[in-house]
Structures are given as structure tokens and as C-alpha cells.
Amino acid sequence: MCLGIPMQVIEVHETYALCEGRNGRQVINTMLVDRVEVGQWLMTFLDAGREVIDAERAALVNAALDGLQAVSEGGEVDLDVFFADLVNREPTLPEFLRKDKV
């Protein structure tokens, strides 16, 4: 399974950026995203930036990753804390899976 990790850009180079995230600093290939700037957030997979995201989305993803880590460590976990954006929200299918769009 591949998980996206949000990382914040701290240095920009021609085809890569030095980024910092939950696992420390890493060199991230930026050839799949438009030009990045210091301070921006990237969603990264396998040492490559796949999407420029905003700080709010980075925080939500990091909270969800914290929740997954807490569950994997066992014990009682209040998932509403880690997945606050999903609380009191009706689940929806992606547009391409909806019957009314076929």
C-alpha cells in the first residue's frame, strides 16, 4: 500500500526540492508537478511530488496519518479527533462511480 505524505518545500532546485515532513527532511523529485516555491506543500509518494496542496489539506492528511499510527499501536483511539473532516458528514461516492452519471 502506498500512502501520500504531505511535505513542505524548504529549498527549490531545477528538478527537485528539499522538503520537510513528518519523517524529517527528504529530497523530492518535482518533475511531475508545476514549478514549486518555498513554503508550498506537496503530496508526495515514493520520493516524488504528485500534487501541490494547501496547508489545510496537509494538516488533514497528517491528522489521518496520526490516527492510523495510533490505531496500529493498539489501545483506545478516538477516531473523531484524527478524522474530524469526516465527522457528521454523509459519505459520497466519487463522481465517476455515481449511477446518475452513467
Of 44, 53, 57, 55, residue with least CA distance to 17: 44
pLDDT digits (tens, 9 = 90+) for 11-56: 999 999 999 999 999 999 999 998 899 999 999 999 999 999 999 9
Question: Per-residue pLDDT for 1 more than 90?
Answer: no
The domains of the chain are located at: 5-82
Half-sphere exposure of 44 (CA within 13 A, CB side): 28
The answer to whether residue 74 scores a pLDDT higher than 70 is yes
Q: CATH class for domain 5-82?
A: mainly beta
87 is written with which cell numbers? 465527522
